[in-house]
Chains A and B, each alone.
Chain A
Amino acid sequence: MDSIISIQDLSKHYASGLQALNRVNLDIRRGEIFALLGPNGAGKTTLINIICGIVTPSAGSVRVDGHDISADYRQARSRIGLVPQELLTAAFENVEATLQFSRGLFGKPPAPALLEQILRDLSLWDKRKTKIMALSGGMKRRLLIAKALAHEPDILFLDEPTAGVDVELRRDMWQMVRRLRERGVTIILTTHYIEEAEEMADRIGVIHKGEIILVEDKAALMSKLGKKQLELTLQAPLTTLPTELADYPLEITREGHALTYTFDTQQEQTGIHELLRQLDRLGIDIKDLHSSESSLEEIFVNLVRDRS
């Protein structure tokens, strides 16, 4: 597998004594969209900041496109663009100047046409002469993305890019991410909106208390851990489950107006046929059927809960 980032036994103890990362091993594939999920304080930002050279690791190593992030930091860093979690911007500069600054920092010669394209893509072209402090929060977020793209990175880190961003802008942003991926840019994002990871990512990693507890193709993850539920709305409410149904993974829900049947999508036999026949035999009439798949969010919550 062609990996563009290779993380080995990476640990981080902050000076406070807190262990933010514990022997993390992770490979990011070239050209993929990788979503890193985890609760607050799991170590997502710490991991990203180490790769980008902002936080020093306590142990372990990271290679970016074959270049060690400390021994060969110039090569490693020049490939990476970072959109930080916080809205960190200078205040008094204008949009255009700050983009030129970003590009320059990464050792690239001026490229007005490219910067114009980036600003247009992010609907900031009209604001190019505006001072940063006069931008709205959502515009600042887009500006941070523009800054990260100004030096044409091969790898883009988006640390919670859609926090505090409205629905429309979020959609635009994901479109942009897809376009970048089509151009071959590898994207690593963290998010708390699990639908986002579900919709966008090729692979998903879950980090919890500084440890990677799972890395999986999204589709495989969904089918492996996914549970389906079948909700049967009843004609007449039930108060107790008939003993004949005790062996089924059934629950009385909606105050007796429904039965919920949980089954594993992996199983050969879902048992639905059997269940329906049994219900028929018992004279329990069904008004409506509704099946649902568990979302990544549920998978994720279950994973983290099982751990703690």
Chain B
Amino acid sequence: MNLYGIRAIYIFEMARTFRTLMESIASPILSTSLYFVVFGAAIGSRMGDIDGIGYGAFIIPGLLMLSLLNESISNASFGIYFPKFTGTVYEVLSAPLSSLEIVIGYVGAAATKSVMLGILMLLTARLFVDYQILHPLWMIGFLLLTATTFSLFGFIIGLWADDFQKLQIVPLMVVTPLTFLGGAFYSIDMLPEPWRALSLFNPVVYLISGFRWSFYGVADVNVAVSLAMICGIMLACLAIIAWIFKTGYRLKT
């Protein structure tokens, strides 16, 4: 195992994060705060409780999930896309690193940043609403799993994308809508059929539901199913990445 190599990539990526502190940390926190102000404090005060939880508190796991998914994907995809775009990836490709080590470096850094953001957002949310975390270990577990899984997913997008538009299209056109429709702002039990049944095809529903369960002990679907879902997505991402590296797809000519 080339530990120094993994460390080099990880440090490089983290340095990039801290160099761009404003956009990589401050801006997601600001936008999340705005959600809390608008949905939590302003509108939330006029909304009834859902599953016995105040609206402001109810939306916290969903909002966190929304940022977590977007940040993980955009951070990890950019991390590998950019050196590919500028050509500096030659150095990583010519180094004695296995594909697994490259993935650990890039995805590890992206996931670290997402987790940091998630924690910062939780602290920020405290300023606006009161919430509790019933199952803190599960919460941390979901946080880590989601950050890692969607950083892997972002890594795939970064490998696949050959222009900036493709880099942004998946988070913008797929992940954000799925999150909004995935029960970030409502319980899917509130939906009429067939929308409720259709929602069950949306993987983000399972993520948000499980995450919310770790906070309040209430869920749209069984927490075991949520866990299985996220592990399933993770394995799928790992399989795709393994295939990409094996074939050299879009990385080597």
Residues of chain A touching chain B, judged by Cβ–Cβ distance below 8 Å, are 14-15, 49, 52-56, 73-78, 80, 82, 84, 86, 88-93, 97, 100-109, 147
Assess the B88–A88 pair: CB atoms within 8 A: yes
Give chain A residues whose Cβ lies under 8 Å from the Cβ of B3.
Answer: 107
Question: How far does the alpha carbon of A205 sit from the alpha carbon of B9 in the complex, in Å?
Answer: 36
Assess the A84–B12 pair: CB atoms within 8 A: no
Assess the B87–A88 pair: CB atoms within 8 A: yes
Give chain B residues whose Cβ lies under 8 Å from the Cβ of A101.
Answer: 8, 11-12
Q: A84-B87, A93-B12 are in contact. List 13 more A-B contacts (CB 8 A).
A: A56-B252, A73-B96, A74-B2, A88-B86, A90-B12, A91-B86, A97-B15, A100-B8, A101-B8, A103-B4, A105-B5, A107-B2, A147-B91
Instruction: Give min CB distance, B81 to chain A, whole Å.
Output: 14
Question: How far does the alpha carbon of A147 sit from the alpha carbon of B88 in the complex, in Å?
Answer: 12
Given known A14-B253, A104-B8, contact A53–B87 (CB-CB < 8 A): no
Given known A56-B253, A104-B7, contact A90–B93 (CB-CB < 8 A): no
Assess the B15–A106 pair: CB atoms within 8 A: no
The contact of B5 among A52, A88, A100, A106, by CB within 8 Å, is: A106
Instruction: Give min CB distance, B127 to chain A, whole Å.
Output: 32
The contact of B8 among A82, A89, A105, by CB within 8 Å, is: A105
Give chain B residues whose Cβ lies under 8 Å from the Cβ of A74.
Answer: 2, 96, 98
Question: How far does the alpha carbon of A49 sit from the alpha carbon of B97 in the complex, in Å?
Answer: 16
| B19 contacts the other chain (CB 8 A) | yes
Assess the B5–A107 pair: CB atoms within 8 A: yes
Question: How far does the alpha carbon of A162 sit from the alpha carbon of B252 in the complex, in Å?
Answer: 26
Give chain A residues whose Cβ lies under 8 Å from the Cβ of B195.
Answer: none
Give chain B residues whose Cβ lies under 8 Å from the Cβ of A90.
Answer: 12, 83, 86, 88
Question: How far does the alpha carbon of A192 sit from the alpha carbon of B97 in the complex, in Å?
Answer: 32
Assess the B253–A105 pair: CB atoms within 8 A: no
Instruction: Give min CB distance, A136 to chain B, whole Å.
Output: 18
Question: How far does the alpha carbon of A263 sit from the alpha carbon of B93 in the complex, in Å?
Answer: 50
Assess the A55–B253 pair: CB atoms within 8 A: yes
| B92 contacts the other chain (CB 8 A) | yes
Given known A56-B252, A106-B95, A107-B96, contact A86–B87 (CB-CB < 8 A): yes
Question: How far does the alpha carbon of A54 sit from the alpha carbon of B11 in the complex, in Å?
Answer: 23
A-B contact pairs, 17 of them (CB 8 A): A14-B253, A55-B253, A56-B248, A73-B96, A74-B98, A76-B96, A77-B94, A82-B90, A82-B94, A88-B87, A92-B16, A97-B12, A101-B11, A102-B8, A103-B8, A105-B95, A107-B5
Given known A82-B90, A102-B91, A105-B91, contact A55–B252 (CB-CB < 8 A): yes
Residues of B within 8 Å of A, CB-based: how many? 28
Instruction: Give min CB distance, B96 to chain A, whole Å.
Output: 4
Instruction: Give min CB distance, A80 to chain B, whole Å.
Output: 7
B:69-102 near A, CB below 8 Å: 83, 86-88, 90-98
Give chain B residues whose Cβ lies under 8 Å from the Cβ of A92.
Answer: 16, 19
Give chain B residues whose Cβ lies under 8 Å from the Cβ of A91.
Answer: 86
Question: How far does the alpha carbon of A106 sit from the alpha carbon of B5 in the complex, in Å?
Answer: 6
Assess the A105–B97 pair: CB atoms within 8 A: yes
The contact of B93 among A53, A100, A109, A147, by CB within 8 Å, is: A53
Residue of B nearest to A94 (CB): B15
Assess the B93–A54 pair: CB atoms within 8 A: yes
Question: How far does the alpha carbon of A109 sit from the alpha carbon of B3 in the complex, in Å?
Answer: 10
The contact of A107 among B4, B11, B15, B19, by CB within 8 Å, is: B4
Instruction: Give min CB distance, B186 to chain A, whole Å.
Output: 42
Assess the B5–A89 pair: CB atoms within 8 A: no
Given known A15-B253, A56-B252, A56-B253, contact A104–B87 (CB-CB < 8 A): no
Residue of A nearest to B253 (CB): A55
Assess the B92–A105 pair: CB atoms within 8 A: yes
Give chain B residues whose Cβ lies under 8 Å from the Cβ of A102.
Answer: 8, 91
Assess the A84–B96 pair: CB atoms within 8 A: no
Assess the B96–A106 pair: CB atoms within 8 A: yes
Residue of A nearest to B86 (CB): A88
Name the 10 nearest CB pairs between A and B, nearest first.
A104-B8, A105-B95, A74-B96, A88-B87, A107-B2, A77-B96, A52-B94, A78-B96, A104-B4, A54-B93
Give chain A residues whose Cβ lies under 8 Å from the Cβ of B90.
Answer: 49, 52, 54, 82, 84, 88
Question: How far does the alpha carbon of A147 sit from the alpha carbon of B91 in the complex, in Å?
Answer: 9
Question: How far does the alpha carbon of A92 sit from the alpha carbon of B16 in the complex, in Å?
Answer: 8
Give chain B residues whose Cβ lies under 8 Å from the Cβ of A109.
Answer: 4
Give chain A residues whose Cβ lies under 8 Å from the Cβ of B92.
Answer: 105
Give chain B residues whose Cβ lies under 8 Å from the Cβ of A73.
Answer: 96
Residue of B nearest to A151 (CB): B95
Instruction: Give min CB distance, B106 to chain A, whole Å.
Output: 12
Give chain A residues whose Cβ lies under 8 Å from the Cβ of B4.
Answer: 103-109
Give chain A residues whose Cβ lies under 8 Å from the Cβ of B96.
Answer: 73-78, 106-107
Instruction: Give min CB distance, A81 to chain B, whole Å.
Output: 9
B:1-57 near A, CB below 8 Å: 2-5, 7-9, 11-12, 15-16, 19
Give chain A residues whose Cβ lies under 8 Å from the Cβ of B83.
Answer: 90
Instruction: Give min CB distance, A305 to chain B, whole Å.
Output: 30
Residue of B nearest to A76 (CB): B96
Q: Which of A14, A88, A91, A108 has the most CB of B within 10 A?
A: A88
